[in-house]
Structure 1
């Protein structure tokens, strides 16, 4: 049952000036007439009196410390130009970001209601307070304009959360919601049993043509994995999802149209980062993120990147592990003050008498 709770590695290139380990004063031989001419020519080309002083036309013994011959100076200037091009911000490495969002408050999350009653609710909907949480998330989510793909559990509460919280991405950028059963909640109690997509989407008319359902055919709604050995099945599914999210990121970075899990997905423009949003559930996201003891609050989100090759080589992470970004760690993910009466918004009676779809 979905319970209630509560390193961005960036490559930097360090370019240091070379320092001569031998003092020019150690040389006793006079420079040749040709070298003098080259020195004057180099000084004129550079236009930099600090790099080449007048003393360069005299003997080696009069040259200042740090002096380089004209040919070396020209080579250094050329190297500097090419190095600056190499580390230009425009040449940055593409990155894949995974934004994990837990659905807003559902009827089964209201702790004032007995636990046994909550877990018997069939595909619980969002509370009124949960709807307000999702709407508030639309303004709190800092990466809305960067979203490239939306992956969503096909459960009612997650589809509803995506519908309210990601409207700018869905309706303005025309990014489809990919219903993906592998990010559903653990367990097979009533509250974690789904509804046929064809039936559910009739209640979200505005989402017509905006939800990709081929990965959630009829029958997806029943979770049969609890028949498998425990707790291995949790780590197995979580690893499968991380791998497939990584694959989606690679497909998207290739640009143009690509295929992921048998469905067509849009790539990003050359050099752009990939931002995948995953709308899921508290317990599943805790396992996916490797934070089994700490769950996200309802309508809370965190941002991750995949572990780098350096992290894996240093044995600080495994391949496909998700690592929370520094920006996400610094962000306050707590609940916003919505200005509504919590208790009245959580009134359960009408939904306990008859569990209607929406």
Structure 2
């Protein structure tokens, strides 16, 4: 039987505070982000049933997982599995992860499994390229990996932009900057399709009702069009930011113009 997958967007990172902070490489959580994690720990339903925690290897996602699911990690002696396929979509400095040796030093002594994080995972090239076809491929690989796990209740901590690709749901992608997911928001999914070469998620009724009430879901054509529009908008946002950064070294000027 395929597991239930509970997707979580990371807590507030320093890059979330301003456009200028997008130049920060692999930023950490803010103090408010740490507080969001403590709140999630209190409100996440049936947290004691979680039997696997998986996270993008970026520091903010790993720390979100460590702080939010501290109790279950300790009680069940679990380790957070860092899965590179869950990394964020852009190649901005804030969305580019750290080298494996730096991550090993950062999380030394903590319940974090970095065995799947190899050199080059943060290159943003080839498999890791910041374009829709590459992101869709690694999102498909991530779904297959998750659905093949023996655990029954899996938490996945990832990023606002990437979670649209993982869940194939773009229905609210314009709610925040580049994503429909709030910091530490969680949504739950079951498998609608799982085969050796394919896997798709379906959001549970309880999860949809919690965030949307009785709102009618989009049909296939509406969802496809929204995905296309949202992907193009995100690409343009990244392009605009890079153009601004190339024209000036004054990050405060960049922030003022955006």
* Fold agreement, TM-score > 0.5: yes
The 1:198/1:229 distance shift into structure 2, 3 A limit, reads closer
CA shift for structure 1 position 201: 4.5
**SS at the partner of 1:331?**
helix
- Give the number of equivalent residue pairs: 205
**SS at the partner of 2:8?**
strand
Q: Whole-Å Cα distance in 1 between the matches of residues 141 and 113 of structure 2? A: 20
After superposition, the C-alpha distances for 1:307-339 in whole angstroms (9 at most, x for unaligned) are 058xx9xxxxx9521101111122259xxxxxx
CA shift for structure 1 position 276: 1.0
Contact 2:121 2:128 in 1 (8 A): no
CA shift for structure 1 position 226: 7.8
Partner of 2:184: 299
Partner of 1:170: 73
Partner of 1:329: 208
CA shift for structure 1 position 95: 5.0
Q: Whole-Å Cα distance in 1 between the matches of residues 130 and 211 of structure 2? A: 38
CA shift for structure 1 position 181: 0.5
Match of 2:139 among 215, 234, 238: 238
CA shift for structure 1 position 227: 8.1
CA shift for structure 1 position 205: 5.0
Provide the alpha-carbon RMSD of the alignment: 2.6
- Using structure 2 for the length normalisation, give the TM-score: 0.72
CA shift for structure 1 position 244: 1.4
CA shift for structure 1 position 176: 1.1
Q: Whole-Å Cα distance in 1 between the matches of residues 65 and 130 of structure 2? A: 32
Q: Whole-Å Cα distance in 1 between the matches of residues 128 and 75 of structure 2? A: 42
Q: Whole-Å Cα distance in 2 between the matches of residues 109 and 213 of structure 1? A: 25
Match of 1:286 among 164, 170, 173: 164
Give yes or no for the alignment of 1:109 onto 2:16: yes
**SS at the partner of 1:195?**
coil
Map of 1:28-177 to 2, 5 A cutoff? 94=1, 96-110=3-17, 113=18, 115=19, 117-177=20-80
Give yes or no for the alignment of 1:195 onto 2:98: yes
Partner of 2:112: 211
Structure 1, unpaired ranges of 5+: 1-93, 253-266, 268-273, 313-317, 334-351, 353-358
The 1:229/1:149 distance shift into structure 2, 3 A limit, reads closer
Pair member with larger Rg: 1
After superposition, the C-alpha distances for 1:139-194 in whole angstroms (9 at most, x for unaligned) are 11113111111111110100110111010121111111111100000121111111
Q: Whole-Å Cα distance in 1 between the matches of residues 155 and 46 of structure 2? A: 10
After superposition, the C-alpha distances for 1:282-321 in whole angstroms (9 at most, x for unaligned) are 0100111112352211011000000058xx9xxxxx9521
Q: Whole-Å Cα distance in 1 between the matches of residues 168 and 38 of structure 2? A: 28
After superposition, the C-alpha distances for 1:68-117 in whole angstroms (9 at most, x for unaligned) are xxxxxxxxxxxxxxxxxxxxxxxxxx55100000000111112xx2x2x2
Map of 1:255-266 to 2, 5 A cutoff? none
The 1:229/1:286 distance shift into structure 2, 3 A limit, reads closer
Q: Whole-Å Cα distance in 2 between the matches of residues 229 and 97 of structure 1? A: 28
Structure 2, unpaired ranges of 5+: 174-179, 213-250, 252-258
**SS at the partner of 1:298?**
coil
